[in-house]
Amino acid sequence: MPDNNTYLVTGASGALGRLVVEGLLRGGATRVIATSRNPASLADLAARGVVTREADFNRPETLEPAFAGATHLLIISTHEVGSRADGHLRAVAAAKAAGVRHLFYTSHAACDTSTSPVAPEHVVTERAILSSGMTYTILRNFLYAENLLMVLGNALEEGRFYGTAGESRVSWLTRRDCADAASGAMLHADAHANRVYDVTGPRAYTYAEVAALLSQVEGRPIVYEDLSEDGYVDLLVGRGLPRPAAEVLLGLELSLRSGEMEPVNDMVRTLTGREPETLESFFRHGRGAAVAPESLDFLQHEMHDRA
């Protein structure tokens, strides 16, 4: 139903951002602003009546003009792991200066206790949001099912994939479910004011259970081999990944061992009004069209920082 709110999504040319904008339009939002470092990449949205503007968190002068007029603004965390906190803080400050009423943010599950290398910048950003004085909703997204495409690698050809997460479980959810949860929260903002939500998948799986599910879907055996920490790094380095990047991936795997990605809740249903997509459905129907995250891109930033 149309309202007087003006919804803004940063990073709208990213895989998640695009889906959030689509969700807002589908949900009846009539005033939508989409921002990107490269607004030309949003020409198709502009043709559909979306206002497109440049906003680059690393170019502070772009932010306040880009955010002007927005009442409900979603900051999509950037993929520049290791160098993104300052940009996020600039975006929070610019939202406040531009008069945004309700700020939304895509965060990371259990970021305040996680040992994951991607967590600390989310903690810094969440704190800034909480102390900004703006009404907020923080969406702590669990892991995208699309990430599994990287974990699985050549599993379909080799019948085997590797990790070092042991028996820990992850409640994978699709990027689309994260996006629809975000647009749902924005469109019903008052119901979600000043809340921090875990946004989880519908069931948590060990990698061995992922292997069993994939075997069932593919109709041939695919197994999971749990490696030692050194064995995992050696495998990745042997496949051509620079050692610092392999160590970042090791850090991601080790963080799973705490069980931080195991919780399952009904937040996707609460925010979207429909059931989340199951991993089986993703394997059967979504996998072909799925876009894997720009993992290597974020590893470049980590490697640069550690050099």
Ligand X SMILES: NC(=O)c1ccc[n+]([C@@H]2O[C@H](COP(=O)([O-])OP(=O)(O)OC[C@H]3O[C@@H](n4cnc5c(N)ncnc54)[C@H](OP(=O)(O)O)[C@@H]3O)[C@@H](O)[C@H]2O)c1
Q: What are phi and psi of 225, to 5 degrees?
A: -115, 120
Convert residues 154-183 into a mask of x (bound to ligand X by CB under 6 A) and - (unbound).
---------------------x--------
Q: Which of 27, 46, 58, 287 binds ligand X (CB under 6 A)?
A: 58
Q: Which of 77, 116, 137, 174 binds ligand X (CB under 6 A)?
A: 77
Q: d(Cα 295, Cα 297) in Å, to the nearest integer?
A: 5
**Residue ranges in 240-279 that form contacts with ligand X under rule CB under 6 A:** none
The closest alpha carbon to 282, from 175, 157, 145, 95, belongs to 145
Quote the least distance from Cβ 190 to ligand X, whole Å: 25
Q: Contact between 17 and ligand X (CB under 6 A)?
A: yes
State yes or no: residue 56 binds ligand X (CB under 6 A). yes
CA dist list (Å): 243 to 255, 296, 307: 18, 13, 11
Is the separation of the CB atoms in 147 and 291 below 8 Å?
A: no
Using CB under 6 A as the binding rule, whether residue 114 contacts ligand X is answered as no
Decide: is 205 part of the binding site for ligand X (CB under 6 A): no
Q: Residue 16, interface with ligand X (CB under 6 A)? A: yes
**Binding test (CB under 6 A) with ligand X, winner from 5, 6, 36, 255:** 36
Residue 201 binding ligand X, by CB under 6 A? no
Q: Which of 5, 6, 52, 106 is the binder for ligand X (CB under 6 A)?
A: 106
- Choices 55-63, 123-131, 203-211, 223-231; region in contact with ligand X by CB under 6 A: 55-63
87 binds ligand X per the rule CB under 6 A: yes
Options 72-80, 188-196, 231-239, 241-249: segment touching ligand X (CB under 6 A): 72-80
Residue closer to ligand X (CB basis): 17 or 202: 17
Q: Is 15 in the site for ligand X (CB under 6 A)?
A: yes
Member of 44, 86, 275, 294 binding ligand X (CB under 6 A): 294
Q: Applying CB under 6 A, which part among 66-74, 142-150, 200-208, 218-226 lies near ligand X? A: 142-150
**Which of residues 140 and 192 has its CB atom nearest to ligand X in the complex?**
140
Name the residues that contact ligand X, by CB under 6 A: 10-17, 36-37, 56-58, 76-80, 87, 106, 141, 143-144, 147, 175, 293-294
